[in-house]
Chains A and B, each alone.
Chain A
Amino acid sequence: QKEVEQDPGPLSVPEGAIVSLNCTYSNSAFQYFMWYRQYSRKGPELLMYTYSSGNKEDGRFTAQVDKSSKYISLFIRDSQPSDSATYLCAMSTGGGNKLTFGTGTQLKVEL
């Protein structure tokens, strides 16, 4: 079993839809949870960063962490074609420590 599981997709949605991306994990020591967006042939770009359980909102993006279920989510509201990318969840046991990534979910938002 992988430490972090993520549905690879691809996920295709119409413009304006609400997108839900999820990851599950097995290591209860993870404390820091991140979502990265990666466009083709580019480095990952940090979208959201959450410590421990709870919700965090930033514009159209909302990150949720449920440590009791070892489950994290990223919601994208009013999705746009420019949101088309691969979304990677990542987590670590401490800030500055090595990250463990999910496999990434490929998202396509269509006009």
Chain B
Amino acid sequence: GAVVSQHPSRVICKSGTSVKIECRSLDFQATTMFWYRQFPKQSLMLMATSNEGSKATYEQGVEKDKFLINHASLTLSTLTVTSAHPEDSSFYICSAPLGQASTDTQYFGPGTRLTVL
């Protein structure tokens, strides 16, 4: 089946530093990717939609200057958490639809656990 990878799987950083998370579609091209965050025992909350070749679309309440998204190619999207603070500690997950047809669905990466000290 379709595979989406994320790197790193886990990162611990000091407050004030920036962290970059990569999301790759391994055997298919994705013009659109989605970024979610998930707090313990809670569901996934959509943060933004990453669009190849254009600006990302952010959900209400998500700071675009804090969560920088770059969709550099048809197989890679990156999320950079700038000036991270402890409240940014969370599980970040990306997803990508398999194609552009109306019946396509989304496949998720394994997630990146960010801990900000």
Identify the A interface with B (CB < 8 A): 6, 8, 32, 34, 36, 41-46, 49, 51, 88, 94-96, 98-104, 106
CA distance A98 to B95 in the complex (A): 10
C-alpha spacing A48/B103, complex, angstroms: 13
Can you list 9 A-B contacts with CB-CB less than 8 angstroms, sorted by A residue number? A8-B41, A43-B4, A43-B110, A45-B108, A46-B108, A51-B103, A88-B44, A95-B97, A99-B95
CA distance A32 to B104 in the complex (A): 10
Task: Using known A-B contacts A44-B93, A98-B49, A99-B34, determine if residue A88 contacts B43 with beta carbons closer than 8 Å.
Answer: yes
Q: Are A96 and B102 closer than 8 Å at their CB atoms?
A: yes
User: A96-B97, A98-B49, A99-B46 are known contacts. Are A43 and B105 too (CB-CB below 8 A)?
Assistant: no
B99 and A102 form a contact (CB under 8 A)? no
